[in-house]
Amino acid sequence: MGKNVLLIGSSGDIGSAIARSLAAEGFQLLLHFYQNKEAIEKLKTEIPAEAVLEEIQADLRNEQEVEKLLNQLVYTVDAVIFASGKASIGLFQDATESMMGEMIALHVKTPWKICNRLLPEMIQRKSGKIIFITSIWGNVGASNEVIYSSVKGAQNSFVKALAKEVALSGIAVNAVSPGFINTKMNQQLLPEEKELITNEIPANRAGTPEEVANAVSFLMSDKSSYMHGEILNINGGWS
């Protein structure tokens, strides 16, 4: 039997690609989603039925919903992957306090709470993996995405700090930091905007969700056994 992976944000393009990749490698999945049940049903047709242990619906901006998710975890969690989130685009001076609170809850506080709950059992077993999908903007920042850059930077710092704390207990904490990836999140861009971005990327193209999933698969494998606190950049040489 494969190890059990809690995949937060499994209905998104990157989350779904990660699910397909890990299912093909024999992992068993606990699939979290918020609203896109249709994407989960489609995903289930693309992976072996035995790879799905559980589906969990929860709004991770809501503390009660997060608690509900944690209480639904009846299976041992050997690894948790955070692939959920949302962008926040606009001038920082126009940001509201509620918007700030929502982004902090979704990208920072909820992952803290989930890791805090899962770590004791991982430490007891002397085994576990925690992986975040962060963003290039968490490394270099982006105008008009100040809040998003901030919370992704917080995720990077969390990964580096927690990795030092739990490495001796056999737990690996790492992240994958994508650049411009061909996902629904970027479909709002005009063709000329996409062209401007790809012209800045040495590889001269957008990445794919599968390329991000490949990096996650590597971190989930024994081949990454000496990697702790790393932020893997998957961005075509953009930074």
* Residues acting as catalytic residues: 148
Would you state the structure tokens that stand for residue 137, as one six-digit string? 């903007």
Please check whether residue 30 is in contact with residue 7, taking contact to mean a CB–CB distance below 8 angstroms. yes
Neighbour tally for 164: CB within 10 Å: 11
Going by C-alpha positions, the residue among 135, 118, 124 that lies closest to residue 186 is 135
Q: How far apart are CA 228 and CA 219, in angstroms?
A: 10
Which residues 6+ apart lie within 8 Å of 223 measured at CB? none
Q: How far apart are CA 133 and CA 15, in angstroms?
A: 9
Q: Are strands 4-8 and 79-82 parallel, antiparallel or unpaired?
A: parallel
Q: How far apart are CA 32 and CA 78, in angstroms?
A: 15
Going by C-alpha positions, the residue among 21, 8, 146 that lies closest to residue 73 is 8
CB-based burial, 93-132: b 16+ in 10 Å, e otherwise: eeeeeeeeebbbbbbbbbbebbbebbbeebeeeeebbbbb
Please check whether residue 182 is in contact with residue 206, taking contact to mean a CB–CB distance below 8 angstroms. yes
